[in-house]
Amino acid sequence: MTSLGAYAFGIEPAYRLRIQRYAPVLPRWPEDLALTIAVIADPHVGEPYMSVRRLEEIVAVTNNLRPDLILLLGDYAAGHHFVTRPVSMRECAGAFRALKSPLGTFAILGNHDWWDDRSAQRSRRGPVIARTELEAAGIPVLENDAVRLVKDGRPFWLLGLGDQLALLGKPIRGVDDLRGTLAKLTDDAPAILMAHEPDIFPLVPRRIALTLSGHTHGGQVRFFGYSPLVPSSYGNRYAYGHIEEHGRHLIVSGGLGTSIMPVRFGVPPEIVHLSLGTASPAAGA
């Protein structure tokens, strides 16, 4: 048991990194629109587990995947108190500045990015520090917003939802506006939605080809596809991986960092590599 504990606290969260590949067949994504996406979620920066150097290594691995598009799914701020040296959001955004892809890098915010900004909590509004620093590094942050991108002459939409757990209190309140975000779609081009917490998924309409989320860390501890504790109202339903419900598709990244406790077991830190359209290889390749 001692060795398992040492692995869960000291090795898996701090040293392991895998590329998790998906190639879903999406009913609302054109087969001839080939697109590759690298997804980075939940780094929770702070030493000793997520130093600037480790973040730079993750950036280098991501660039080596040569994706068409890079997406950041939020929770850049540390999510636990086991931090030996804080890493500022400016340092984090500076590392992300080196991300390279033809269609660029786009970001959303997570609950810890809001919770970590005391001024935003007092005023009950943003922009939070994470957004300011990411945008200063040249990375657009989508909060209830949409951008129309073009790959090989074919358009598609990228949407980013505001965080659903942004404002602390009783109850916790979100700054998400799904209806307003969807209203920004002005044509029938296929659409991808970034939403930090996957709990929004039951409300996402079939108009959206794919929803991408983080937040859960796959439960951080996972045995045979089951996580004892998942920060979601739906438990293991949206804990991790590719979920299909009623013809709608969701992919939940296991993320990179940790929250509450700096432990991972059975769900190592990961970068998601997503292939859509005719360029899609077999999933897991």
Confidence at residue 11, expressed as pLDDT on a 0 to 100 scale: 60
Judged against a pLDDT cut of 90, whether residue 261 lies above it is answered with: no
Helices (H), the chain: 2-6, 12-15, 52-64, 89-96, 111-115, 118-123, 129-136, 178-182
What gap in Å lies between CA 55 and CA 68, rounded to an integer? Answer: 20
Is-cis flag, bond preceding 171, omega within 30?
Answer: yes
CATH value of 2-279 in 3.30.1450, 3.30.70, 3.60.21, 2.70.98:
3.60.21
Q: What is the mean pLDDT of residues 135-142?
A: 98
Judged against a pLDDT cut of 60, whether residue 4 lies above it is answered with: no
pLDDT tens, residue by residue, 153-178? 999 999 999 999 999 999 999 999 99
pLDDT band per the 50, 70, 90 thresholds, residue 284:
very low
Q: What is the mean pLDDT of residues 32-49?
A: 96
State the angle between helix axes of 89-96 and 129-136 in degrees (0 to 180), rounded to the nearest 10.
Answer: 40
Please report the DSSP string for 211-280 in residue order: EEE-SSGGGSB-BTTB-S--SSTTGGGGSSEEEEETTEEEEE---SS-BSS---BSS--EEEEEEEGGG-
Judged against a pLDDT cut of 70, whether residue 10 lies above it is answered with: no
Burial class (CB in 10 A: 0-12, 13-18, 19+), 253: buried
Q: Supply the mean pLDDT for the chain.
A: 93
Judged against a pLDDT cut of 60, whether residue 5 lies above it is answered with: no
pLDDT tens, residue by residue, 212-226? 999 999 999 998 889
What gap in Å lies between CA 208 and CA 161, rounded to an integer? Answer: 13
> In this structure, what token pair is assigned to residue 91?
């340092």
Confidence at residue 184, expressed as pLDDT on a 0 to 100 scale: 98
What residue type is 3 in one-letter code? S
* pTM higher than the cut 0.85: yes
Instruction: Map out the domains of the chain as residue ranges.
Output: 2-279
pLDDT tens, residue by residue, 180-210? 999 999 999 999 999 999 999 999 999 999 9
